[in-house]
Structure 1
Amino acid sequence: MAKHNSAHQVNSRPTREAFLPVTRADMDARGWEQCDFVYVNGDAYVDHPSFGAAIICRVLEAHGYKVGFIAQPDWRDPSSIQILGEPRLGFLVSAGNMDSMVNHYSVTKHRRREDAYTPGGVAGKRPNHAVVVYSNLIRSVYRHTPIILGGIEASLRRLAHYDYWSDQLKRSILLDSGADLLIYGMGEHQIVEVADALDAGLPIEQITYIAGTAWRAAGTNALDSVVDYELLPSWDELNADRLNYARSFNTQYRNMDAITAVRLVEPYPHNVWVVQNPPALPLTEEEMDAVYDLPYARAWHPDYDAAGGVPAFAEVKFSLSSNRGCFGECSFCALAFHQGRVLQTRSRESIVREAIELTHDPDFKGYIHDVGGPTANFFRRACDKQVKHGVCQGKRCLWPKVCRQMKVDESGYTELLRELREIPGVKKVFVRSGIRFDYTMADPSDEFLEELVQHHVSGQLRLAPEHVSDKVLAIMGKPRREVYDAFCKRFDEASKRAGKQQYVVPYLISSHPGSTMKEAVELAEAVRDMGYMPEQVQDFYPTPSTMSTCMFYTGVDPRTLEPVYVARNPHEKAMQRALIQYRKPENYKLVKEALHKAGREDLIGYGPKCLIKPVPPRPTAAGAPNKNNSKHQAAPKRCAARKSSTRTSGSAQKKRSPKGKRS
């Protein structure tokens, strides 16, 4: 694959020649009469490897294909997807780096006012269910041109799935979109195989054999040539009994490894089936390096300069992706379903090369904002047996505790951080992806923690224990609270040895499945003992294709079919969230109601352990501090975990960043 170069730059900003064509004039400038592929995307065009569309386009380009790009077409105007003409081989369609519904709506289903993936942050530039809308728009104009779906929205909706915004099951997005083929997962292997098959003259309907794809079969004998598959519950069965969906999702979840997975078939009425082939093989280190060495412009398209650029790019411009995939398997996270449990990493040499390139950017101030991925301190596979035998289907790597077969080794990541901070021009390297603290606690060496404390934390280390109740943590797939407390103590001691005042800031999730009002109050008590009010709080958001979302819809854990309590009522969810931020005056009524509902009136009073007083706080003048609450707004001076009696808290879900972090 081609190496990155800095050609076509004026005043440090890449000119449009450094980007793929977005207009017919751009095609003419390259001497192109026709594109091989046209990529239609719900995001603005940012040519950077933190954006999936950029990777897929550059991979195709590296294999000799001509790719044009249509960003955020007007879905009400068919001419908007005709600006580059009909591609020779097909249209590629993606909603962008986020599911379009998550992009548009908060957990309370209120419309968001900004879109970080649109020039100037302007909202409303893409439709709801963007993949479906774009595909149908294309099909209305180009009746026979192949349409291939990809990206996070297509990947997580590849089979029947629960849609939180309509509160019902939806069919495979392949059927509703009218597309010909769906690529799930990260897609580099699949897109090249699909392109080569189409280029060789194979009709799209015959491209049914590629790993990491899903396709539609129709007709009485359509499955005669399909072998070695497992039949999932049918669409009618899924709608008849929610337990059937729980069983189906568990089967899907157990078949996400390229080595151990089997083909899955989901039946629909009128002799229609959606066939999901086993996942594609993970990228090797060499392949990962090659992907990140491609000639990205590493900027937004110059057409967006007048609007001030694309806000989401600021988060990743001076960050480095070191890995993908995650063996943490948090129940509320879709990463395992999308990227898989097998960790894929770049070489240290590749990451250092990219870091050196960052230092040449005139906007670089000496700070690398992040080095990581879904989990920063994962830098090798969970265990060596995964190379030949795949991941274990019957057990998890880190829950209920770190597997004895796991090779816990943070030395590679530690050495990487050391190399990066020694690069001339680099002042500080931050670790902001979040670390898996139980993995660090299982490391027999203190080397990584000492490196982290000394050089890569600026006062606060953000962690994700998510909750404090062991009952809820077990459902989440997170380590017991005692592990978090032990890490906080160890971090505090290391900070003191380094002569630094640093503390842990936990993310919190309210109303996660399994959390009754009793557990919500327990979490509030933990916040009380922390001594400050956390700002990072997220009400559980049922996004497509996570274990927790399946629990939210079905009321059971799909792995065991055991009942799980689910707070579905918006008012109850509001109470659970308010409890975490009980010091806010505007939350007083909700907190009081929640404490009465939980039978915890002992927390209403004037004692040191009480959460609220019997009477609401007096309203304060605009901008004036409330003397009863202002002392709680200051950040903690030390780690949240003090002693065995001190309660610590959990963490919030982070919005999916362009690097594919937690959603």
Structure 2
Amino acid sequence: MFLPVCRKDLEERGIGQLDFVFVSGDAYVDHPSFAAALLGRLLESRGYSVGILCQPDWKSAENFKALGQPRLSFLVTAGAMDSMVSNYTANNKPRSEDSYSHGGEKGHRPDRAVIQYVAKIREAYKGVNVIIGGIEASLRRTAHYDYWSNTVKHSVLLDSKADLLIYGMGEKALLEIASQLDKGISARKIRGVRGTCWFTGKKDEVPADAIMLPSFEEVSKNTPESKEMFALSYKIQEENTDAINGSVLAEPSESRFVIQEKSAFPLSQAEFDSIYDLPFERKWHPMYDVAASNGKKGIPALSEVKFSLTSCRGCFGACSFCAITFHQGRRIQSRSHESLLSEAKKMTQDSDFKGYIHDVGGPTANFRSDACEFQKKNGACKNRDCLGVSPCQNVKADHKDYIELLKKLRSLPNVKKVFIRSGIRFDYLMLDKDKTFLYELCKHHVSGQLKVAPEHVSDKVLALMRKSTHAVYEKFSAEYAKANKELGLKQYLVPYYIAGHPGAGIPEAIETALYLKKTGFVPDQVQDFYPTPGSLATCMYYTGLNPHEKKSDGKFKEVYVARGGHERRLQRALLQFNKKENAQLVKEALIQAGRADLIKILL
């Protein structure tokens, strides 16, 4: 049975008033990959009644009354993606579709959905508790650079006028909050819950042990001094994301203070397993079985995860352009083999299952445990990368557990093949002296092509990306080719590249183009760098500074940033120099860089 979505559902279940109403920018899919369903089922398992108000029309407050006023709180999320990322491309153009909406139609979620939804809830019900969470709220929890307006904005907690914000993966925080709400404590008064942010207008309420961040006023002015302070603020926040060694943070914002409590502790394996054992329907709600206005049915995003297994959370890879570590953290949480096998068996009973498990992974598929023993006991190091250009010598690269898991999965009845489509961190794979996993990967878990993400060729850019050197990718490429040859297989690598990342200029794009020319591979798609809230690369994009490297005068070191659409187009064209429509842009870029001698080589 699905969670209630309308008054009729409440009447059929005999529910007079729901405890929680979950307002989501996504369509309702009752699957653990969708946060509203996962958290709704979790609350339900603890005895709370939960309804889902999915993609309400935000133009009228009346639409937010569809399930009535909840006894405890509204829970608001923009959905699986930041609403601005969902609605606009990296070049700030409206997207043509939304895979989390009925039929993939665009236009079913507003820009800045969290703010819009809370405003209408406040209009509908005065004084009701409103708690915000999800990726949009989590990554905008303090003052942040907003690419779409090209300004620094307040914490979304303040701009939305919500009572409380849950950041990161919210299971533990939400259950603790629910308990306090049930005792009659209003959301605005809840304090001390890990994984939350709250605000106060009283300085004496700021926790004595809080680290004070630069104020909103200091980081929001478009001046060199302000950008220096923005970079400092980001650095402090990044150093305090770990549940073990992180601190409480406080950000002055005009007459108020935003308080970020310490991060929630990672789920234990038993807790992680129990969540995925909840009674999900594992399909979209029947209301999407009818065709949308574009003639399509269902929710496209489900197809990506319906026959996939989430085996882990967190990522100690910490790529600069990715906000996962700012949201999920660097600690790895993994599910047991038993839990994953149980889910896979259920999957094979689905009438649509054709014998193929599409993925077994998470943010990084081949991470199944913390980077090292020190990290388990003391938390992630504040000033040391696990991987990147200079991998930490304490990193324990071990794929034995993952290999055993994959063997068990592919031996299940009715399973023909188990693919791995989550990102493989090839530099971590190369640190493993035992190459069993590489051969297992090639033999059993690839079908012709393996997608990997070297991202760039320039070591200068790769260092800013927190990626391994290009030589590591070339070594992996050679090992991959060797393994496939020995196995008698013809399988290829499909590398992804990013254009316009901080640190990358036209010379670096030319360097990449020449490498692609030499290897004979030119990507069909190139990702333009997208400055989304919460990432180190976005901080560098806005400030032009690297918050992890200082000059002799004590200020942060400058980073070159490609600004404006034209240079970004030039870089992308160089990475796809073989496309006829890019010829003029490639010529322009080469002439601009003083490398007209390369025109005949690339064109």
**Could you say which residue in structure 1 is the equivalent of 2:294?**
none
1:70 to 53, 65, 68: 53
In structure 1, C-alpha distance between the alignment counterparts of 2:178 and 2:513, rounded to whole Å: 54
Deviation at 1:220, TM superposition (A): 5.2
Tell me how far apart the structure 2 counterparts of residues 537 and 353 of structure 1 sit (CA, whole Å).
Answer: 38
1:370 pairs with 2:359: yes
Q: 1:89 aligns with which of 65, 72, 96?
A: 72
SS of structure 2 residue aligned to 1:558:
strand
Looking at structure 2, the residues matched to 512 and 342 of structure 1 have their Cα atoms a distance apart, in angstroms, of 26
TM-fit CA distance, 1:400 = 2.6
* Aligned mate of 1:550, from 539, 547, 556: 539
Report what 1:266 is aligned to.
251
The alpha-carbon deviation at position 594 of structure 1 amounts to: 0.2
Is structure 2 residue 589 aligned with structure 1 residue 600?
no
Between 1:173-182 and 1:404-413, the stretch displaced more is: 404-413
Return the alpha-carbon distance in structure 1 between the equivalents of residues 446 and 389 of structure 2. Answer: 28
Correspondence for 1:496: 485
How far apart in 1 are the matches of 2:189 and 2:404?
48
For 1:56 and 1:191, how far apart are their aligned partners in 2? Answer: 8
Indicate which of 189, 214, 232 corresponds to 1:247: 232
Q: Which runs of 5+ in 2 are unaligned?
A: 292-296, 550-555
Q: Is the 8 A contact 2:365 2:423 kept in 1?
A: yes
Equivalent pairs: percent with the same residue? 53
Partner amino acid for 1:379? R
Match of 1:302 among 286, 295, 298: 286
Q: Distance in 2 between matches of 1:140 and 1:557?
A: 43
Q: Deviations over 1:459-496 (max 9, x none)?
A: 11111110010000000000001111101111111001
**Which amino acid is 2:123 matched to?**
S
Structure 2 counterpart of 1:586, from 557, 581, 588: 581
| Aligned residue in 2 for 1:236 | 217
Deviations 1:102-123 (A, max 9, x none): 0000111110111100001111
Report the Cα distance in structure 2 between the residues aligned to 1:327 and 1:430, rounded to whole angstroms: 23
**1:54 partner SS:** helix
Distance 1:446 1:572 in 2: 41
- For residues 377 and 414 of structure 2, what CA distance do their matches in structure 1 show? 42
Alignment of 1:6-85 (within 5 A): 18-85=1-68
Inter-partner Cα distance in structure 2 for 1:239 and 1:452: 47
How far apart are residue 201 of structure 1 and its match?
A: 1.4
Q: Distance in 2 between matches of 1:253 and 1:456?
A: 35
Matched letter for residue 168 of structure 1: T
Aligned to 1:219: 202
Shift of 1:256: 0.2
Partner of residue 257, structure 1: 242
Alignment partner of 1:138 is 2:93? no
Secondary structure of the residue aligned to 2:109 is coil
Task: Note the 1:304-323 alignment, pairs <5 A.
Answer: 304-307=288-291, 308-323=297-312
Which stretch shows the higher mean deviation, 32-41 or 394-403? 394-403
Name the structure 2 match of 1:154: 137
Report SS of the residue matched to 1:243: helix
* 1:190 is aligned to 2:173: yes
CA contact (8 A) 2:214 2:233 kept: yes
Deviation at 1:601, TM superposition (A): 1.1
Corresponding position of 1:3 = none
What is the deviation of 1:598?
1.1
- In 1, Cα distance between equivalents of 2:36 and 2:50: 11
Q: Does 1:108 align with 2:103?
A: no
Cα shift readout 1:259-302 (whole Å, capped 9, x = no counterpart): 111111110112x1100001000001111100111111100000
- Residue aligned with 2:81, SS: coil
User: For the residues of structure 2 that align with 1:227 and 1:67, how far apart are their CA atoms?
Assistant: 37
1:401 to 390, 413, 420: 390
**TM-score computed with the length of structure 1 as normaliser:** 0.88
Residue 389 of structure 1, aligned match among 367, 372, 378: 378
Moved beyond 4 Å, runs of 4+? none
| Deviation at residue 394 of structure 1 after TM alignment | 1.4
Q: How big is each residue's C-alpha offset from its partner over 1:586-620, in whole Å with a ceiling of 9 and x where there is no partner?
A: 11111000000111111112xxxx001xxxxxxxx
1:122 match:
105
The 5 A counterparts of 1:201-220 are 201-219=184-202
More helix by share: 2
User: Separation in 1 of the partners of 2:428 and 2:61?
Assistant: 51
Tell whether 2:567 aligns with 1:572.
yes
Match of 2:344 in 1: 355
Q: What is residue 346 of structure 1 aligned with on the other side? A: 335
**Does residue 99 in structure 1 map to residue 82 in structure 2?**
yes
The alignment partner of 1:508 has SS state of: strand
Distance in structure 2 (CA, Å) of the matches to 1:389 and 1:42: 37
* TM-aligned CA distance change 1:468 to 1:37, over 3 Å: same
Gap change, CA 1:220 and 1:489, over 3 Å in 2: closer
Tell me the residue number matched to 2:322: 333
Opposite residue 122 of structure 2, the aligned amino acid is: R
- The aligned amino acid for 1:242 is K
| 1:435-472 CA-partner distances (Å, limit 9, x unpaired) | 00111111111111111011111111111110010000
User: Are residues 429 and 220 of structure 1, via their aligned partners in 2, closer, same or farther at CA, if it must alter by over 3 Å?
Assistant: closer
**Alignment correspondent of 2:602:** 611
CA-to-partner distance for each residue in 1:37-79, whole Å, 9 max, x for gaps?
0000000000101111111111101111000110000100111
Is 1:277 aligned to 2:283, yes or no?
A: no
Q: Tell whether the 8 Å contact from 2:389 to 2:462 is kept in structure 1 after alignment.
A: no
Match 2:500 to one of 505, 511, 516: 511
**Which residue of structure 2 lines up, in the alignment, with residue 563 of structure 1?**
558
**2: CA distance between counterparts of 1:487 and 1:28?**
59
Higher relative contact order (CA 8 A, sep 6+): 1
Measured in 1, the distance between the counterparts of 2:388 and 2:518 equals 27
Aligned residue type for 2:23: V
Map 1:635-646 to 2 at 5 A: none
Instruction: Encode CA deviations 1:494-539: one digit per residue, 9 max, x unaligned.
Output: 0011100111110010011001111010011111122132113111
CA distance in 1, matches of 2:367, 2:21: 35
| 1:550-606 CA distance string (max 9 Å, x none) | 00000011122211000012111110000011111111111000000111111112x
d(CA) in 2 for partners of 1:322, 1:205:
35
TM-score (norm 2): 0.97
Secondary structure in 2 matching 1:604: helix
User: Aligned ranges for residues 531-546 of structure 1 at < 5 Å?
Assistant: 531-546=520-535
Give the Å deviation of 1:140.
1.2
Cα distance in 1 between the residues matched to 2:522 and 2:558: 33
Amino acid at match of 1:602: D
- Alpha-carbon distance in 2 for matches of 1:227, 1:75: 40
